[in-house]
Every structure is written in structure tokens, then in C-alpha cells.
Structure 1
Amino acid sequence: MKKTSILLVMLTSLLFAACSKENNGTGTEDKYGNSPRSAVPDALAPATWFYGSFSPLSHYDNAGHELGSDWEAARSYEVTKDGFAEFGQYLGTRTGSCVTEIYSRLKGTIKFEGNKFTFYPVEGNFKTIRRGCSSNNGTTERVASGTDLAPQVYLWKTEVYSGNTFLYVYDVNDTNMESLIFGYDVVK
């Protein structure tokens, strides 16, 4: 499990590098000045919040027949104590020889209000890579705009197991926090 987590952390780090955008010289404070933010609780920053999973590339029956392919996913937030955050996501699917990889990167601010936090994306980009597929092979990229940059509001709580802090995230309407959306490992 730990090897899988390390590999997925490496994948999300590559995501940030692969999707990085040149700084236009405006600086973080100027570019993000109008975006709401607050101090982040000590248990959550500075840190990387990480979620990820790997599945086998293919499943086979006892006779060697391929039953299907699977997927892999990783999500992370890199959060500073003063309320800046960068979100990255990697999704990969494999069906036969067709491989699709989707990378998302959003940078912005984060604001905590009690058991609610809001991520305010300011900029970002998306990249899709397809290879070995019957059509649409290649790389497509686009800059985040419109609804891509809409605030994302969640409820949250932390739990500590074996000395590790985990961040549990819920839909803002799940006021009893009964249906977990994501559980992040908080790595400082």
C-alpha cells in the first residue's frame, strides 16, 4: 500500500510539472489578491493532501481470457498555511491497447470556515493523452475557464490513525457527514 501511495504521489508531482504554466510576472499576491482565503488549520498545512488508487491493467480468467481493463486515479492538494492551494488530478484508463490519461491542474486559494472549506481556483489547465486507440490519438490541452474555475465547497473533518492524519471530505449538503467523497492522507 505504501509503495502504491509513493508511486501515486510521484504521478501527481509529474502532473504538476507536465501541466505547469509559465509565470507571467504578476506574482502570486497580485494574481490571487481578490480570491478569498484564510489561514489553514495547523493539522492540514503546510501539507499535501493525497488520495490515490491503482488497479491491475487487465483482469484475466483462469483460461487466460481477458475479462476487462481497469483504471488508476490520484488527487492531491498542496496547501500552504496562509491559504494558497494547488489541486492536481490524474485519471488513467486502459481498454485493450487503448490508453487514456487525463491530467488536471488548478491553482488558487482556500478558505476555512468552521467545518467547511472552499477552494477558489484562479487558473489551471487540462491535458488528455490518448495512444493505441482506434481514433483520437494524441495530446489535447486546454486552459481552465468558465465553470472550471467555479468555487468548490466541501465539509471536512480529520481523524488520526497510527499517528497519521487523514482528511475526510463530504458534500456541503451532507451536514451529518455520512457519505464520504474522498479520504486524503495528509503528508507534511
Structure 2
Amino acid sequence: MYNQSKLSELIRFARVTAGSTVIDVYPGDGDWTRLFSDVVGREGRVYSFVPTEIADLKPDQLGHMRKLAEETGRENVEAVSADLVAMPEITQPADVLWLHLFYHDLHTKLIQSKGATAADFNRAVYNKLKPGGFYVIVDHAASAGSGTSDTQTLHRIDPASVREEVEAAGFVLDAQSTILANKDDRHLIKVFDPTIKGQTDRFAYRFVKP
């Protein structure tokens, strides 16, 4: 995770506030789910959404999210799971959908194994967000002009490709942040390489549903 200053800035950037309904897609260890739970409070709701594409491979993740939802003070959290593009069927209309270091995976064989594509998912997000809702994406940057060619090998994606794909679903770019940028990352090695892990050049986009 990031230091407290960056965490606070990212939560502000995502426009998550008291009373918000948030969908946290592919929650990992649940760090963001916990943070959002604290911010939205009793009047809010956080859906910790584990795609079956991931749950089939890592069944413990859904169990971990269910245990998290049972923690004291987490009554506003619900752990849910379905095929990626079926997400709208198991969640309520949301104010914010949060996608942290996962968008590039929409272009990998694992996530596409059940037929989901980035275009399918972006349309699903558009349909699930309330008018004026925010689709927030943070991911590892690939070299400019590389498109989606590094998604499988390096787990990176060209920010311009993300913007093009998301806008094609009807979203409008509302803001972008360089808070996680790293000019020393040359975008040439896999994000899990020990020399760059945790320090990759990352971009943050906030799109709005008109």
C-alpha cells in the first residue's frame, strides 16, 4: 500500500465520501475495502467484488473477503462474486467503481477465459453506475504507443488505450492524477520484478458517467 498522504489523496481523487456506495473490484487483501468502509460509514455500502475468474484460481480470496465483512464495524461491507461481466447483477447502483492495478488484466488470457473483454466490462460498469457516478482506474503504465501489447507479458498498459476504451463505453474523462508517477520507471520490465515492484510508474484516471 501507499503512505498515508497518498492514500488520503487517492480517496479524495476517487470521490468516495460518507454515504457513498462503492464497488471494489478484485479487492486482493482487502486493504481498499477496509479504507472505503471507514470512509462511507454506516449510511454507505462497499461491495468487495471477487470475479469468479479469480475466485476459481484463488478460492481463498472470496473467503477472506467474507471474513473481512464479518469484522466488527464492517456491517457496510458485502463480499460478492460472479463472472466479471455479471457484476451488475449482484450489486446495487453505485456512486464509485474502483479498479486498482487490475484494468490491464482485462486483456489477459485468465480474465478472458470466460469470454469477458475490456469492452464488455466497461459497458457493465457504465450500466451499474448512477448518473454522475465515477469509474476510477489506477494501473501500471506501459510505454506510450504500446497499446495493450504489454498486458500479458509485463502486466502494464498504455494509459492512452485505457482512456480510449473507457470513453468508447460512454464515459467522460473527469480528472487524472500523477501522484503515483515514477519518471525513473522505463516501462521495460515486469511489474513483479524486484527492482521495480511497488515502485512502478502508475497513472490514475477518474471517469464520470454523464
Superposition TM-score, scaled by structure 1 size: 0.27
Point out the structure with the larger helix share: 2
Point out the structure with the larger strand share: 1
Superposition TM-score, scaled by structure 2 size: 0.25
